[in-house]
Structure 1
Amino acid sequence: MTNKPNPWKDMPESTQRRIKSDTLHNLFWITDLEGKYGFLLESKDLFDDIKLPANLKGIELLKRNSTYGHGELFLVLNDKEDWQIFYTLCNDLVSITDEYDEDKAMISAVEVRLKRWQQLLKQDRNNSMNLHKQMGLFSELLCLRDIILPRYGVEQAIISWVGPDFDKQDFLLDDAIIEVKSYKTSKGQIAHISSVKQLFSDKVPLFLLTYGLTQTENGQSISDIVENINSHLNTKSNEIKNKFEGKLLEYGYMPDIIKNPFYKFMVDKNRVFLTSGNFPKIQPKFISHGITDVKYSIDLLKCGDYEQDIINFLE
């Protein structure tokens, strides 16, 4: 981030400068009367609705219809010290606008992205992607890339990935549900279950997919897996690309602004279990009324009777 140019650095107060010349849309770097840094997106048409699309921490938003017959969306940064994060946000919005010819569709996509940024900016950037969270995302992306994508295709794989949406499980398919868990190999094969409903399904088979990980410089990082998946999206629609980026963002993955290092991992053990029947789990029907939260751990070494073939378990 420190090597990024500051586009507002030499701009006087109350000025604007077009961001790109090779675009259909009117996008500007701006400064206000106090010299604060800002971003302006102009719509060729008046807005149907001037309700603010998001509430961004440290950033003022203004959405209005100009007397000149076009819509204006302003973002103004309160503290210049945060310009690098703001610059990343603005460039993210610019990249979205490049994908749309029609202004209405472009504005809608920008507003969706602002809502995602609202959630991200609420997080503590010093701890938004700690080791535990990176292990979780790394394992879910491995499942998406190596197990779901080859069988269902990249679009269906991304649609089925509901882990970032904080659903009950991580992947919801038409004929199966997959809950993904990772653990440090050095700590033993223990899967930590964080909800009583996490291993419960009354409709389709639910599989517990586990990854034993070791942190090592010879391994792969989240960024490596994301790059692999993006290579499958090059010829796909903008909608599915935005969906994938949005889910990563909801997980807290924004490499340009988070301060944690991206760890590298090696998979030592990959196992999958069918959780029906007598698989060791706590079932909702056995939880007394009034208990709202249940967390427990499963020793995978004692679950051999329920293990499935990792290659063919979705057949």
Structure 2
Amino acid sequence: MNNNILEIWSSIEQSSKVGLLKRLYTNDSELYIYAIFQNPEKYCGIALSFDKSIHIDVSPFSNLRDLQVTVNNDSSFSNNNLLVIKLMHYQSRDIFAVMCEDIVQHILSLHSEKQIVETIINQLEKWQALFDKLKGEGLTLPEQLGLYGELHFLQKLIAKQDFISALNSWVGIDKEVRDFQYNDWAVEIKTTASNNHQKVSINSERQLDETLLENLFLFHLSVEVAKKNGENLNTKVNTIRETLQSNISALNIFNNKLLEAGYFERHKHLYEEKCCQIRTENYYRIYGDFPRIKEKEIRNGVGDIKYSIILSQCSKYSIPEHIVFEKMTFHE
């Protein structure tokens, strides 16, 4: 990429011209992807030039509160249209910038204009959901603990694997069944901070079902939560960012996944006081008679399965950390 998109928006904003202004965002492909800025309204966004033969219906996005999506004639290329996505609230541009840079990273590897346009369209509802989270009151304490546990495991993983593969295996924020999964293995992360540190909640019949996997592990992180004593969520995030700073693609992926998890910079002050001190870390391999409910065991008509596991009864399934990471292969 030529520039950080925030810098391009800022540069275009300085122009005295009025209307929709665009500047080429990347030279890394044959695609014409633009950073755009509309004066004097201060709408910023991205645009993609594509062949007019490709039909796009943007009417489902006419009621988005934060984004405006239109298809216009491309004044630069007579045979092309321009897909324009504008952010209507300038104060949220830092969040939108991360989203834009992430989607551009993804589409650079695609070769079909139609596929690229569809990929961008598919992101729009997810983006609006993120803006809805942004207007909330930040993560609840259980959500903070859950994210802290996932980041703690991710920190271990990126120390042992290449950054991109490690980050791509973090799928819990995409509402997948388990928190980490890649090829034939998966890891579910459970973080507890209650008086009963050995009791964990399982959210579905598939979460601890290894039927379609070669290896399934449960990582249990037990912490004490104290006021300003230990490591808070912000510190954990910053430590991982420092590790990834040499790889801009990995850093973009990480920042975008943080947004999907509901972690926003403007809420950081809410996470300063609550700190975690790690009590214990334990891994369990899920197989055989490990106490859990499997999908094939559910009778017809039963749904929304949720249950608890007492980990003190699972000691024979305990497994050392180094064995877990040996079994987590990233081959294609």
State the TM bucket, normalised to the shorter chain.
0.7 to 0.9
Give the C-alpha shift of residue 179 in structure 1.
0.9
TM-score when normalising by structure 2: 0.71
2:43 to 15, 22, 38: 38
Separation in 1, partners of 2:143, 2:301: 29
Name the CA shift for 1:259/1:233 in 2 (closer, same or farther; >3 Å): closer
Distance in 2 (CA, whole Å) between partners of 1:276 and 1:264 is 34
The code of the aligned residue for 1:163 comes to G
Contact 2:99 2:256 in 1 (8 A): no
1:204 to 194, 200, 214: 214
CA offset digits 1:142-191 (Å, max 9, x no partner): 11111x22333322211221111222211224453211101114343211
Give the TM-score taking structure 1 as reference length: 0.74
Deviation of 1:306 (Å): 1.8
In 1, Cα distance between equivalents of 2:183 and 2:45: 43
1:166 equivalent to 2:139? Answer no
**Residue 164 (structure 2) aligns with:** 155
CA distance in 2, matches of 1:99, 1:204: 31
Contact persistence 1:181–1:191 (CA under 8 A): yes
Per-residue Cα deviation, 1:191-237 (whole angstroms, up to 9, x for no partner): 11111111111231211110112223232233333333333433436
8 Å CA contact 1:126–1:259 kept in 2: the answer is: no
RMSD value, Cα: 4.0
Instruction: State the distance in 2 between where 1:167 and 1:97 align.
Output: 20
Paired position in structure 1 for 2:191: 182
Q: 1:258 to 1:121 in 2, by over 3 A?
A: farther
Q: Secondary structure at the match of 2:257?
A: helix
SS at match of 1:158: helix
Mapped partners of 2:216, 2:105: distance in 1: 38
Taking a change above 3 Å as real, the CA distance of residues 185 and 308 of structure 1, as seen in their structure-2 partners, is farther
Quote how far apart the aligned CAs of 1:51 are: 4.5
Aligned length: 295
Match of 1:142 in 2: 152
What code does the residue aligned with 2:279 have? D
Instruction: Indicate whether 1:243 and 2:253 are aligned.
Output: yes
| Equivalence map 1:18-33=2 (5 Å) | 27-31=35-39
Percent identity between the two aligned chains:
22
Amino acid of the residue matched to residue 84 of structure 1?
A: Q
Q: Which structure has greater helix proportion?
A: 2
Aligned equivalent of 1:58, options 49, 60, 66: 66
Q: 2:143 aligns with which of 123, 133, 137?
A: 133
Structure 2 residue aligned with 1:234, among 220, 236, 245? 245
| Pair 1:96–1:298, CA change in 2 (3 A) | closer
Structure 2: gaps of 5 or more residues: 1-9, 28-32, 327-332
C-alpha distance in structure 2 between counterparts of 1:53 and 1:302, whole Å: 55
Give the equivalent residue in structure 2 for 1:3: none
Give the equivalent residue in structure 2 for 1:254: 264
Question: Is the aligned partner of 1:264 residue 2:275?
Answer: yes
| Aligned partner letter, 2:44 | F
Q: 1:246-280 CA deviation, whole Å, 9 max, x = no partner?
A: 32222222223688545432211111112212221
Tell me what 2:231 maps to.
Answer: 220
CA distance in 1, matches of 2:155, 2:38: 41
Following TM superposition, by how much is the alpha carbon of 1:73 offset from its aligned partner in structure 2, in angstroms? 2.0
- Judged with a 3 Å threshold, the aligned counterparts in structure 2 of structure 1 residues 52 and 222 are, in CA distance, closer, same or farther, namely farther
